Structure 1
Amino acid sequence: MLGLTDILARHDELKAIRAPVERQWREIAQLMCPEQEDMFTGNSRTNPAYDEIYDATTMQAAEAFSGGIYGQMTNPANNWFEFGLEDPELASYYPVKSWLWRQSRKAYGTFSPARSKFYSEAPGWFGDLGIFGLGTMYSEEIVGAGRFLDRAIPLGESYIDVDAEGDVDTFHRAFRLTGRQAKQKFPELDALGNQVNDRTTYDVIHAVCPNPEYDARRIGVHGKAFLSVYVAPQIKNFIRVGGYHRMPYHVVMWKRRPGRVYPVGPGHIARPEAAMLNEMERTHIVAAQRAADPTILAHDEDTFSPADYYPGNVIYGQVNERGQPLAQPLNSGANLQLSLDMSKERRDAIRQAFYFSVMQLVNRPQMTATEFLGFQEEYLRQMGPNLGRIQSQGLAPLIARRYDILAQAGQIDPPPPELENQPLQIEYTSPLAKMQKAGEAKATLQYVNGMQQLAAATQDIGVMDNVDGDAVAAVLHEAMGPPPSIRRDPAEVAKLRQQRAQIAARREQLVQDGQAAETEATRAHAAQAATLSTQREAGQ
C-alpha cells in the first residue's frame, strides 16, 4: 500500500510534468481570467489585475464558449442522455425499452438541483476547458444524504498523468484547509489533539491512482480499481486510505497534443491576438487622452501656462501681428483609423478562436430547415472531434459512475431476462448529439428533392414510390431535435392509416352502391317502358 513518501514522490513527478505549461497558463490567465492567475504563482493578490485589461472581447468570447457548450451538451431544460443497447431492435422491445427509460430517468435525476450542484458547477468546468484546454470535475456520493457532491476543481489544484492509451489514470489534487476545516473533513484529526491548530493553514494532497493490489474478488480497499490516499505533509501520522470503483475526477480536454499530457484549448489560440489587442487598446486610450488634452507647443514659459488652459478662457497677446498663435497643440499626424481597423481584426480572430459566431447563432428560430441542417454540419465540422472527446472522456465516465452508485445502493430495477450479458451504452440526446445526424438528414432531404425533380421532369409520379416517407420523417425528427411529442407513435400512425383506409373504402362502397342503384333504376325503367310498349301493341 502506498505511504506518505510514495505519494509525495509521485506528486513531485506530476508537478514536473505540469511545470512547462504553467507559464502559458499564467499568460492566458492574465488576459482572460485574472482571478485565476495566482493559482499558478502561489502568490495571492488582494484584487485581481482587471485594471490591466483594456478590452473585454476575450473574456466575453470565453464566457460565450462556456455557455454554448453548457447549453448544447448539459442544458437541464433538455434530456441530454439516456441508456441504450448496441442492438436497436432489442432496445425497441417494449419491456426492455421501458426498463432502459426508467433507469435513465433515475440516473438523470441524480443531476437535479435538489440532489446535486452539477448544473451550477458545469459552467466552470467548461470555462476552464475553453480558456486552458482542460477542465476537471469531482463527483462523489454524500453517504446517507441521498445527494451528490459535484464540484469543478480549480486548475491550479489539478495534477494529472495518463496511461499508455492516453487516458487520465492518475489525479492529484493539492489544496489547502484551515485546521478547523481539516477537522470537519477528517474527524480522525481530533485524536491528534493540539497538533492541528484551527487557525493554521495546512497543505493537503488527494491522490487517486490505479490500485496496485486490485483484486475484483476481494472486498474493501483491495476490491477497488482506484486507490484513494489523503495526506497532509505538515500533520504527522495523518494518512487516509480508501478506494473507488471508478475514477471520481472527470477530466475533459479540448485538443490533445501527441506525446504531451496536457492539452491546448481555444485560449491558447486566442492568446497572441488577445495580448496584441490589449496593448493596442491601451494605446488607443492614450491617443484619445492626447486628442482630448493635447500637448501644447509654446515659445517659452511666459507664452502659455497650464493654468490658462481651460474652456472659455481668453488669453491676450498670444498671437503675432499676422494672427498666428504663439502656442498651439502638437499634431503627431498619426492615422488612428488604421489602428482601429487592426483592433477590429484582432477581435474577430479572438471570437473565431472561441467559436463565438457558432455559439451565438445556433438554433436561430428564423432558420429554414435546410439552413439549420447546413449550419449544424458546419458546427460539427469545426468542433465535432473536440466535442466528442468531452462526451467520451468527461460525461460518459460521470454518468457511468452515477449508475454504479445507484446499483450499489439497490436503486436499479432488476433487468428483464433479455438483457442478460447485454452491456448498456450511453446515448446522448442533447442538441449537440442530434447535430451528429445533420449530415444524414441533409443528404436525405437532397435525395427527396432530387426524386421530386426527377418525377416532374419525366412526368412519372411513380418515381416517388422509391421514397419511404416514414423513414424520411424518422431521420429528420432525429436530426432537427423537436420534442418527442411532436412525432406520433408508429402504432398510432398505423391506426390512423387504417381508419383513413376504412373511410375511403366506405366512400368507394357508397359510390359503387349509388352506381348500382342507378343502373338498376335505369334497367327497371327500360323494362317498364318495354312492357308499356308491348301492351299498346296488343291493344291495337
Structure 2
Amino acid sequence: MAELTPIQKKAAKLKELELDRETFLDEAKEITEYILPQKGLYLSSGEKPNKKKGRFAKIINPTASEDNDLLASGIQGGLSSQSRPWFRLEATDKSVMSLEHVQIWLDYVQNQMRSVLAGSNFYSKIHDFYNDEGGFGNAVMMCEEDPKKVVRFTLATAGQYCFAEGIDGTIDTLYLRYPLRAVNVKKRWPDTCSDSTKQSARTKPFDWVEIVHAIEPNNDRNPNKIDNRNMPFSSCYWEHAKTDKFLSKSGYNELPFAIGRWKTNDSETYGTGPGHTALGLVKMLQTMEKSSLRAIHKEVDPPLRVPTNLKDMLNVLPGGANYMPANDPRDSIGKLYDMNFNYPAAEAKIEQIVRVIHMIFKRDLFLLITDRPEMTATEVVERSQEKLIMIGPVTERQIPDVLEPMLSRTFNIMVRFGMIPPPPDELAGQPVQVDYISLLAQAQKMMGLQGMRSYVDMATAVETLKASSPDGAVKTNSDFLLDEYAQGLALPPQITRPDEQVNQFKQIQQQLAQQQQQIEMLKQGSETVKNLAVADAQGQ
C-alpha cells in the first residue's frame, strides 16, 4: 500500500475528527433548529450557505433564543465590555510596580492594546462568540494579522470546526471547513487553486468552494530555522474536494485561535451549555404553544357539521350570508364537536416552562448586568451572590481559555508591527501578566473577600460588646473567639496576630494606660495645689 501524501494525511485526520464530533453535531443541529436558527453551518451534511429554508419555522415561542442572546450580552458586559476597562497589565515581579517608569510603560502598552481591540471587530465578534458558547456549549474564534487594523477576528460556527486536545488537556488542534466564493479563492491563491475553481471563477464567480484550514502543533519543524514553515504551529489550506495539493502552507508563532467551552468533562472533547440543558424544555414549549394555538384556531374557526345538500354552497367568510329552508332541522349547521381545551392550565404550564428556561440561562443575573452597566462589583455581589456562585466556574474559565490567548496573540502581533516600545530594564526577560478588572472578574474577587469582611464585622461586634456590656466581655474569651472564627472562614494566617504578639500589644497598652492614669493624677494634683495656693492668697 502506497504511503499517504502529507495532504492525504491531513484529509484523513479531518475525517477522524469529524467522526469524533458526530454526537455533538447531532445535538448542535437541534439547537440550531430550536434556539439558534441563524447559527450553524453543516457542510458535512450537504448544507449550503445562504440556502436555509424555514430556519425559524420551529420557533413559536422565542424565550430560549432571547435568553441566550441576553446571556451573551451579559457575559460581554460583565467580562469584556468596550464601555469600561476590563484588563490591565502588571509586572510579574511586584517589587518593580512602584517604579514610575515601569508604571508609565505598562499604562502605555495597555492603552495601545485597548485602542487596537476597539478599532478592530473584536467586540462585535466576541458577542457572537458568547452567543455560540451559550447555545452550542462551544465557540471558536480566530485572530489574524491585518495590515490596516492590526488584528482581525473571525468566528466559526457549529458544523465548521473540529478540534482536539493536547496531552495537557488544552486544545491545540483545530480544523476549519468553510465556504468561499470561487472568485475569492482565485484571488487569494491564484497559482495553487484547482483548475475547476479557476474555471468557476471565470464563468460562475459566486459559486461556493469548500476550503479546509488545519492548524496544529508543528512536530516536524526545525527550531533552528525561523521561516514560516518552521513555526511552532503549522497552517495548511486545501480545497476539500481536491486532495492532490495544498493551497498554501505556513505557520503561526502562537496559537491563533481561542476556543470556549461552557462546561466539559474528562471523557468528552466538546462542551455542553445551557442550550443543551434547555433543549428538551424548548421542544416541549414549542409543542405546547402549537397545541394551544391550534385549539384557539378551532374555537374561532371550528370544523362544521354540514348537510350533504349544502355541499360547496356555504359562505364561511366573515359576515357571509347563508340562506336555509325554514323549519328544517335536517338542514341545520353546527360544530362538529365541542372543544373542551383547558386554556388556563395550558398557559400556567407554559409559564412554568418559561421560568425554568429563564433559570437555566441565568436570566436574572445577566438582566441585572445589562440593565445597569454602571453598577459596581460590590452591588453585583450583594444582589446576586447565589447566582454568581453558580456561574463562577463558567466565567472564570473564559479568562484562560478565551481572553488570555486573544490578548496574548494581540500583544505579539503588535510587537511584530513595531507598536510596543522596548520595556524598561526591570521588565526585561520576564513576562508581563494580565490582571482582569471587569465587573464579573471583580465580583468573583469580592466573593473571595467576603470571609474577610465577615471577620471584620465579627471583630467590630466583639469591640461593641466590650464597650456596651462589661459583664458579657468578661465572660467571652474574645481572642479565642476571633481565632476560631478566622480559622472557620479559612482566612490567611496573616489576618490574625500570634498570641505572643497580642500579649505584647496588651502589655504595651496596659503600660500606656497606666502612664496616662499617672499623668491624669499628676494633673489633678497640680490643679489641687494651684487651687490651694489661690485660696491662701485670697485668705491673706
TM band (smaller chain)? 0.7 to 0.9
| Partner Cα distance (1:272, 1:424) in 2 | 46
User: CA offset at residue 256 of structure 1?
Assistant: 0.9
Instruction: Tell me which residue corresponds to 1:266.
Output: 274
Summarize deviations over 1:232-278 as a string: whole Å, max 9, x none: 25455443111101111211111012211111111000100000000
C-alpha spacing 1:302/1:151, structure 2 compared with 1 (3 Å): closer
Asked if the contact 1:225/1:244 (under 8 Å) is kept, the reply is yes
Give the direction of change, closer, same or farther, for the CA distance of 1:29–1:146 in structure 2 (3 Å limit): closer
Deviations 1:176-207 (A, max 9, x none): 22321012222434897985530353221111
Q: Could you tell me how far apart the structure 1 residues matched to 2:378 and 2:194 are?
A: 69
Aligned to 2:220: 213
Give the direction of change, closer, same or farther, for the CA distance of 1:454–1:17 in structure 2 (3 Å limit): same
When normalised by structure 2's length, the TM-score is 0.77
Counterpart selection for 2:397 from 389, 402, 405: 389
* Identity across the alignment (%): 22
Instruction: Report the CA distance shift for 1:408/1:380 in structure 2 as closer, same or farther (over 3 A).
Output: same
**1:185 counterpart residue number:** 188
The alpha carbon displacement at 1:380 in A equals 2.6
What is aligned with 2:341?
Answer: 334
Report which stretch shifted further, 401-410 or 380-389: 401-410
Match of 1:176 in 2: 179
Match of 1:134 in 2: 138
Distance, in Å, in 2 between the alignment partners of 1:455 and 1:54 is: 61
The residue number in structure 2 matching 1:50 is 56
Q: Which residue, 354, 367, 371 being the options, matches 1:360?
A: 367
1:308 and 1:12 map into 2 onto residues whose CA distance is 58
Q: Which residue of 1 aligns with 2:432?
A: 424
Counterpart check, 1:77 vs 2:83: yes
Pairwise CA distance, 1:157: 1.5
Equivalent runs, 1:282-301 vs 2, <5 Å: 282-297=290-305
Matched letter for residue 112 of structure 1: A
CA distance in 2, matches of 1:196, 1:373: 61
From 224, 228, 232, the counterpart of 2:235: 228
Question: Are 2:164 and 1:152 aligned?
Answer: no
**Counterparts of 1:2 and 1:382 in 2: how far apart (Å)?**
49
Structure 1 residues 305, 212: closer, same or farther in 2, change over 3 A?
A: same
SS at match of 1:155: coil
Distance 1:309 1:316, change over 3 A: farther
Cα separation, partners in 2 of 1:301 and 1:233, compared to 1, 3 Å: same
The gaps in structure 1 that reach 5 residues or longer are 467-518, 535-540
Q: Are residues 1:375 and 2:383 paired?
A: yes
TM-score, normalization by structure 1: 0.77
Q: How far 1:53 moved relative to its partner? A: 1.7
Is the counterpart of residue 347 in structure 1 residue 351 in structure 2?
Answer: no
Native 8 Å contact 1:66 1:123 kept in 2: yes
Corresponding position of 1:511: none
Using the alignment, how far apart are the partners of 1:336 and 1:358 within structure 2? 31
Deviations 1:490-527 (A, max 9, x none): xxxxxxxxxxxxxxxxxxxxxxxxxxxxx9xx99xx9x
SS in 2 for 1:136: strand
Size of the alignment, in residue pairs?
472
Distance change >3 Å, CA 301–CA 352, structure 1 → 2: farther
| 1:307 alignment partner, one of 304, 315, 340 | 315
In the alignment, the residues of structure 1 paired with residue 377 and residue 235 of structure 2 have an alpha-carbon distance, to the nearest angstrom, of 51
Check whether the contact 2:134–2:274 (CA below 8 A) recurs between aligned residues.
yes
1:165 to 161, 164, 168: 168
Query: Of residues 441, 445, 455 in structure 2, which corresponds to 1:433?
Result: 441
Q: 1:514: which partner in 2?
A: none
Q: Secondary structure at the match of 2:259?
A: strand
CA distance in 2, matches of 1:46, 1:390: 31
Give the counterpart letter for 2:360 in structure 1.
Answer: A
Partner residue of 1:241?
A: 249
Residues 12-23 of structure 1: pairs in structure 2 closer than 5 A: 12-23=15-26
| Number of the residue aligned with 1:118 | 122
Tell me, what secondary structure is at the counterpart of 2:61?
Answer: coil
Displacement of 1:170 in angstroms is 0.8
Q: Is the partner of 1:131 in helix, strand or coil?
A: helix
Conserved 8 A contact 2:60-2:289 = yes
* Structure 1 contact 62–354 (Cα < 8 Å) conserved: yes
Residue identity opposite 2:466 in structure 1:
T
- Which position in structure 2 is the counterpart of 1:102? 108
Q: Does 1:457 align with 2:460?
A: no
* Superposed CA offset, 1:360-419 (max 9, x none): 123766999976423353233111111111111111011111111222333222222222
Q: Does the C-alpha gap of structure 1 residues 342 and 378 become closer, same or farther in structure 2, counting only changes over 3 Å?
A: same
Distance 2:328 2:149 in 1: 89
1:399 pairs with one of 374, 394, 407: 407
Q: Give 1:282 shift.
A: 0.5
**8 Å contact from structure 1 (residues 376, 438) kept in 2:** no
Partners in 2 of 1:360 and 1:302 — Cα distance? 58
- 1:108 Cα deviation after fit: 2.0
Matched, 1:68 2:74: yes
Deviation at 1:230, TM superposition (A): 1.1
Q: RMSD across aligned C-alpha pairs, in angstroms?
A: 3.8
Deviations, residues 25-54 of structure 1 (Å, cap 9, x unaligned): 111111012233552632343534313321
1:133 counterpart letter in structure 2: G
How far apart, CA to CA, are the structure 2 residues paired with 1:196 and 1:211? 34
Cα distance change on mapping 1:58 and 1:318 into 2, 3 Å? farther
User: How many Å separate the matches in 2 of 1:146 and 1:65?
Assistant: 29
Question: Is the contact between residue 377 and residue 438 of structure 1 (CA under 8 Å) also seen in structure 2?
Answer: no
What CA distance in whole angstroms lies between the structure 2 residues aligned with 1:169 and 1:26? 25
5+ unaligned residues in a row in structure 2: which ranges?
474-478, 480-526
**Any conservation in 1 of the 2:192–2:247 contact (CA below 8 Å)?**
no
Answer whether contact 1:133 1:266 (CA < 8 A) is retained. Answer: yes
Q: 1:320 to 1:361 in 2, by over 3 A?
A: farther
Q: What is the rounded CA distance, in whole Å, between the counterparts of 1:261 and 1:190 in structure 2?
A: 33
* Aligned partners of 1:318 and 1:327 also within 8 Å: no
Residue identity matched to 1:31: Y
- Provide the C-alpha distance between the structure 2 equivalents of 1:78 and 1:441, rounded to a whole number of angstroms: 23
